[in-house]
């Protein structure tokens, strides 16, 4: 009941609950989305095919031609059928002919707007890959036909492509350890717990007007139990409408999923299908929670026929049971301190429950903290007095409104501490000097003279300050044909071929000219088996085109007598090369086994898209060429994907936080419409009222953030104890999380000002 006011409150409750339910349904759809993406990846994958495939009517040659454009990874697959009936990749109607390609919709759009990329991928577009061949709508992917593919031999050499018999073969994902599992659990808790807090908060919107209506019902004969049943019924109705509205929100938002990409993560609408059991659980848990929260909230409210006694200041809230919640969470995590290491198994439910209790303790303590703090506030300007008095009368509702922000910030701080501590477990320092070079270009099959030509082409490329490089090959002991297995590989000697300028970058070369050769001994612990053959006048076998068993005939070469020995220098990747260093005119390229060029490019950071010009130049070297960024640190792909997922979830959670806060603030303003109109009628300045609204929000937010920092550090310290790491604070991260929470609340407050001005009009004095 309650007429228009009651229905308005129910509608606002339904909207607030609906927003939370929509995000919960999205979370319930993530497993199905990931499974669908993985199934399509497996259907097109060929990475685990082993052994030598015999050419036939249904075999084909395949080579990857991947690239990157302005930070976006582009996957290219080149195909050449062996017969008339080759397997067709998923999402394609036929294998593209030489010079033609079939592209994903996202890549077609990108190619049309990026001539610089079109230069690198020159094939003629003849079709679009269907959904069955893509992991997501934003994936940049293409299949192209090529007549330049040559099959590798049985040793995987002397070609540029692999022969395949079909698609649908995949390799196993990398095994994750217990630390990664802990990270995943905490990410899920931190992202979903604020949603649950907002859903329960939304069920208590408009509680003051509801209590006054219930007091009126007491006046006409309803008893206490009847009023509680009515309140529970109203909450149940709002929650049920919220569940239905959340389903509508989810279905509508799902239609736009293909247009949304967050950190390279995208999904087809059909993939976002919530798990049935989780959907039923959400549909049942939300109404039950709404009724339970309503009944619990009425324990402190005495509804009598003459009014609601909660309007006065009652007894202070108890603290002991509120503190018992995080203590119970800590007790669950305590037995796991120091046990989360390596591949050790952990109890996921125990970890999740402990983390939930620790973060829930923050929301439980917040009302007590707000009530205790604002009860001591006195004096100040009019806006401050209006705000503090309002908080003293209803500080609990203000605390509830920001409880979601508090939980989100506390969880984010704990997660930041954990990520900061275990980052080294998933990161590998490369030792590269990114000040010397930022791009590495490799070209398999390029001999010494070809490498020098490619270096000149890179040097002439727009945006390149300098390019250096060398050709790498290998030799072996002169009697290698007698060996096999590990003994055959233990005596391998590297061959480094470059011009004099290049040799000086990688070794302490002095005088250098035509036909120059140098011996560079290996660093400590390397090449012990080959050191005996790294001598002036010694003989080496240039035939190394094999793996575990010697094949072919020896190609002996003699190191010139009098060859000097020089020391090595650190290369741009942070390593030191060793072996035989020679100029290109010393050894005929045709005698080298599987040579490849390795070049390093120093970019001019003043040139926009400098790296893209380098990639275009490298694409012209042939199918064996590839480019890669030189990084000081590399991360495991699973860890990178987890951080991407965390970012995507954090964005959605922040959107929910803002929307739910706005709904709650609008409901509070609506409840105070008459008071605001009366204050304006008695001469209170509108600016003072606006500032009072800001203070009413700012005070609980500041108190909540103080509590969030304490709770987040506490949970973070417990998590670090579990992984046996010292507690080291990332204060910059704490400040960033707190500032984000403040920014969200400030933005919502600013959005609520226009409705506030409208509520100050004289018609707010009217009453039904």
Nearest to 333 by CA among 199, 185, 494: 185
Over residues 373-382, the mean pLDDT reads 80
| Strand residue runs (E) in 123-244 | 124-128, 141-145, 162-164
Give residue 64's pLDDT: 92
| The pLDDT of residue 315 is above 70 | no
Over residues 178-203, the mean pLDDT reads 82
Give residue 311's pLDDT: 45
Q: Residue 634 corresponds to which tokens in the numbers above?
A: 């590399």
**Helix (H), strand (E), coil (C) string for 112-146:** HHCHHHHHHCCCEEEEECCHHHCCCCCCCEEEEEC
Over residues 300-324, the mean pLDDT reads 63
Give residue 505's pLDDT: 94
d(CA 595, CA 454): 14
Cα distances from 534 to residues 280, 484, 510, 527, 560, in angstroms, run: 72, 20, 19, 10, 11
Give residue 5's pLDDT: 62
% of the chain residues with pLDDT over 70: 90
The burial class, CB within 10 Å (0-12 / 13-18 / 19+), for 24 is buried
When pLDDT is cut at 50, 70 and 90, the band that residue 692 belongs to is: confident
Q: Which tops the pLDDT comparison, 343 or 334?
A: 334
Give residue 313's pLDDT: 46
| The pLDDT of residue 89 is above 80 | yes
Terminal CA-to-CA distance of the chain, rounded, Å? 14
| Range with the poorest average pLDDT among 157-161, 234-238, 451-455, 456-460 | 157-161
State the alpha helices, DSSP H only, in 551-636. 610-619
Nearest to 393 by CA among 267, 454, 308, 331: 308
Pairing of strands 633-635, 596-603: unpaired
| The pLDDT of residue 568 is above 90 | yes
Give residue 180's pLDDT: 80
Give residue 154's pLDDT: 66
Give residue 466's pLDDT: 95
Over residues 234-241, the mean pLDDT reads 88
Q: Give the distance between the most distant pair of CA atoms in the chain.
A: 115
Query: Residue 5 in 3-state DSSP?
Result: helix
Give residue 115's pLDDT: 93
| Continuous segment of H or E residues that includes residue 642 | helix 637-671
| Range with the poorest average pLDDT among 306-315, 345-354, 367-376, 668-677 | 306-315
Kindly report, residue by residue over 714-762, the tens digit of the pLDDT.
999 999 999 888 888 778 878 887 888 788 878 887 888 787 777 776 6
| The pLDDT of residue 646 is above 50 | yes
d(CA 332, CA 306): 47
Over residues 284-303, the mean pLDDT reads 79
Q: Which tops the pLDDT comparison, 45 or 345?
A: 45
Cα 212 vs. chain centroid, distance in angstroms? Answer: 48
Give residue 728's pLDDT: 82
Cα distances from 322 to residues 129, 289, 329, 763, in angstroms, run: 56, 19, 12, 43
Total number of residues shown for the chain: 768
| The pLDDT of residue 144 is above 90 | yes
% of the chain residues with pLDDT over 90: 38
Question: Residue 237: CB partners within 8 Å, gap ≥ 6?
Answer: 10
The burial class, CB within 10 Å (0-12 / 13-18 / 19+), for 451 is buried
Give residue 312's pLDDT: 43
| Continuous segment of H or E residues that includes residue 76 | strand 72-81
Over residues 698-720, the mean pLDDT reads 88
Kindly report, residue by residue over 93-112, the tens digit of the pLDDT.
999 999 999 999 999 999 99
| The pLDDT of residue 416 is above 70 | yes
| The pLDDT of residue 441 is above 90 | yes
Over residues 509-533, the mean pLDDT reads 87
| The pLDDT of residue 684 is above 80 | no
Q: What's the whole-number average pLDDT of the chain?
A: 84
| The pLDDT of residue 673 is above 90 | no
φ/ψ of 649, rounded to 5, equals -65, -35
| Continuous segment of H or E residues that includes residue 493 | strand 493-497
| Range with the poorest average pLDDT among 450-459, 604-613, 753-762 | 753-762
Over residues 73-91, the mean pLDDT reads 93
| Range with the poorest average pLDDT among 77-86, 379-388, 529-538 | 379-388
Highest mean pLDDT among 358-372, 522-536, 636-650, 690-704: 358-372
Give residue 79's pLDDT: 95
d(CA 165, CA 154): 16
For the chain, domain boundaries? 3-37+176-310+335-427+637-765, 57-164, 439-631
d(CA 160, CA 445): 9
Over residues 237-241, the mean pLDDT reads 89
| Continuous segment of H or E residues that includes residue 74 | strand 72-81
Bridge partners of 466? 602
Give residue 51's pLDDT: 58
């Amino acid at each position: 009941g309650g007429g228009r006011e009651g229905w308005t409150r129910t509608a606002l409750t339904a909207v607030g609950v609906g927003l939370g339910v929509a995000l919960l349904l999205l979370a319930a759809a993530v497993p199905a989305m990931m499974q669908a993406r993985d199934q399509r990846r497996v259907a097109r994958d060929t990475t685990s095919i082993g052994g030598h495939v015999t050419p036939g009517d249904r075999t084909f040659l395949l080579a990857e031609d991947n690239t990157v454009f302005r930070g976006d990874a582009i996957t290219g697959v080149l195909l050449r059928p062996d017969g008339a009936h080759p397997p067709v990749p998923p999402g394609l109607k036929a294998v593209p002919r030489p010079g033609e390609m079939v592209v994903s919709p996202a890549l077609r759009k990108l190619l049309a707007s990026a001539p610089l990329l079109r230069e690198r991928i020159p094939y003629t577009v003849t079709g679009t890959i269907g959904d069955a061949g893509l992991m997501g709508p934003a994936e940049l992917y293409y299949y192209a036909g090529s007549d330049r593919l040559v099959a590798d031999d049985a040793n995987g050499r002397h070609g540029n492509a692999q022969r395949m018999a079909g698609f649908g073969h995949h390799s196993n994902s990398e095994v994750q350890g217990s630390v990664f599992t802990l990270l995943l659990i905490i990410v899920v808790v931190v992202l979903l717990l604020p949603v649950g807090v907002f859903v329960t908060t939304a069920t208590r919107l408009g509680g003051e007007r509801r209590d006054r209506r219930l007091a009126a019902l007491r006046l006409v004969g309803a008893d206490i139990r009847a009023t509680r049943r009515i309140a529970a019924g109203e909450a149940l109705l709002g929650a049920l409408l919220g569940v239905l509205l959340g389903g509508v929100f989810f279905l509508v938002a799902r239609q736009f999923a293909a247009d949304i990409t967050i950190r390279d993560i995208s999904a087809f609408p059909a993939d976002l299908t919530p798990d049935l059991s989780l959907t039923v659980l959400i549909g049942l848990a939300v109404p039950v929670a709404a009724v339970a929260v309503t009944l619990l909230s009425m324990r402190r409210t005495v509804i009598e026929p003459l009014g609601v006694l909660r309007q006065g200041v009652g007894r202070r809230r108890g603290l002991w049971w509120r503190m018992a919640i995080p203590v119970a969470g800590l007790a669950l995590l305590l037995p796991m301190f120091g046990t989360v290491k390596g591949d050790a198994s952990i109890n996921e439910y125990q970890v999740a429950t402990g983390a939930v209790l620790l973060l829930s303790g923050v929301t439980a303590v917040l009302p007590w903290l707000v009530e205790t703090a604002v009860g001591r506030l006195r004096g100040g300007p009019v806006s401050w007095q209006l705000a503090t008095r309002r908080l003293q009368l209803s500080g609990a509702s203000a605390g509830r409104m920001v409880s979601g922000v508090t939980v989100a910030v506390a969880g984010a701080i704990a997660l930041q501490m954990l990520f900061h501590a275990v980052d080294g477990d998933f990161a590998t320092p490369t030792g590269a000097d990114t000040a010397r070079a930022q791009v590495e270009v490799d070209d398999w099959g390029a001999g010494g003279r070809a490498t020098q030509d490619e270096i000149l082409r890179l040097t002439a490329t727009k945006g390149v300050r300098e390019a250096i490089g060398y050709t790498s090959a290998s030799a072996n002991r002169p009697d290698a044909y007698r060996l096999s297995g590990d003994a055959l590989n233990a005596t391998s000697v590297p061959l480094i071929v470059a011009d004099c300028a290049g040799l000086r970058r990688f070794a302490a070369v002095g005088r250098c000219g035509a036909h120059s050769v140098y011996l560079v001994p290996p660093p400590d612990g390397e090449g012990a088996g080959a050191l005996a053959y790294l001598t002036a006048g010694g003989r080496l076998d240039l035939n190394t085109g094999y793996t575990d068993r010697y094949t072919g005939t020896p190609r002996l070469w003699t190191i010139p007598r009098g060859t000097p020995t020089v020391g090595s220098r650190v290369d741009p990747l942070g390593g030191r090369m060793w072996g035989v260093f020679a100029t290109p005119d010393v050894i005929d390229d045709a005698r080298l086994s599987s040579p490849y060029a390795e070049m390093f490019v120093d970019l001019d950071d003043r040139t926009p898209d400098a790296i893209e010009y380098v990639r275009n130049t490298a694409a012209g070297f042939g199918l064996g060429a590839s480019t890669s960024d030189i990084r000081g640190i590399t991360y495991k792909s699973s860890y990178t994907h987890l951080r991407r997922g965390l970012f995507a979830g954090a964005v959605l959670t922040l959107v929910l936080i803002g929307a739910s806060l706005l709904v709650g603030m609008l409901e509070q303003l609506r409840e105070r419409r008459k008071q605001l109109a009366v204050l304006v009628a008695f001469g209170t300045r509108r600016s003072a009222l606006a500032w009072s609204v800001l203070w009413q929000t700012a005070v609980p937010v500041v108190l909540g953030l103080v509590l969030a920092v304490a709770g987040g550090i506490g949970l973070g310290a417990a998590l670090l104890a579990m992984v046996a790491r010292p507690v080291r604070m990332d204060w910059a991260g704490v400040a960033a999380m707190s500032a984000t929470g403040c920014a969200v609340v400030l933005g919502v407050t600013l959005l609520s000002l226009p409705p506030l001005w409208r509520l100050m009009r004289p018609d707010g004095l009217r009453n039904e």
